[in-house]
Structure 1
Amino acid sequence: MEETNQTENKSERCKVKITAIKDTMEILSGKWKFHIIGTLLLNEKLGFMALLREVDGIGSKMLSKELQDLEMNHLITRTVLNTKPITVEYQITTYGKTLEPIIDEIANWGINYRKTIFK
């Protein structure tokens, strides 16, 4: 009986973990989100055009869509400034900053991978 409970507990923990990984991958999926988050982690605030210049290769429509997704998921904030013409600034949220160690680890993994594969 105890062995059955341990197996069920492991199975439940596995399901919880897999669901969490799926959620994370869905929120952070795509070609651009890590680049946008990384850029905002390195800069206090950036306007739309500055982000467009920093995120090499992204188009304005895609940047706009990705920023909306990140804002919807509480990873960045969008502030409309009272200027003429109106300008917008983006900033990483406190919750978004919790991604920094994860991004650092992914970068380290990638560096080591390149060293291993491209000797």
Structure 2
Amino acid sequence: MEKKIKPCIDNEQILKQRFLALRDTLDLLSGKWRFCILLNLHYHQKLRFKDFFEVSEGISPKVLTSELATLEAHQLIQKKVEYTPTKDITYYVLTTHAQEIWTVLNTLIEFGLSNRQEVIRSFHSDKN
């Protein structure tokens, strides 16, 4: 007889919804550039296309175009145009919706810093 694993949540529908939501979020934020783009926009508040190359060393124009389009389609960033007498300036900003991600990003950063120190500490104690 096959033994069924019982989840810690009684309502399996809620568990499935939460699993799907997590998978969707990981799919959306996967890749090495999306977090960087969101983090840079958080710290710089607005960036022009060419500015991303200064703050995200190594990204290609093709990849940046694709990643910006994806983040824009998911309403995490918004393209804005500033009209001036001499030329129009296009830049990107985080949407209000994207502000919710900051808690997640900050938690991941804090974990990364803590984990890095733990691994270094463990590595040094193993050598002694």
TM-score range, shorter chain: 0.7 to 0.9
Percent identity reads: 28
Give the unaligned 5+ runs of structure 1.
1-6
What do the CA deviations read for 1:58-85 (whole angstroms, capped 9, x no partner)? 1111011000000000000012344666
**SS of aligned partner of 2:14:** helix
Matches within 5 A, 1:1-119: 9-82=10-83, 87-119=89-121
For the aligned residue pairs, the C-alpha RMSD in angstroms reads 2.0
TM-score with structure 2 setting the length:
0.80
Q: CA deviation at 1:86?
A: 5.1
Deviation at 1:14, TM superposition (A): 1.4
Which entry has the higher C-alpha Rg, 1 or 2?
A: 2
Alpha-carbon distance in 2 for matches of 1:41, 1:86: 23
Bigger proportion of residues as helix? 1
Structure 1 position 10, deviation (Å): 3.1
- Secondary structure of 1:51's counterpart equals helix
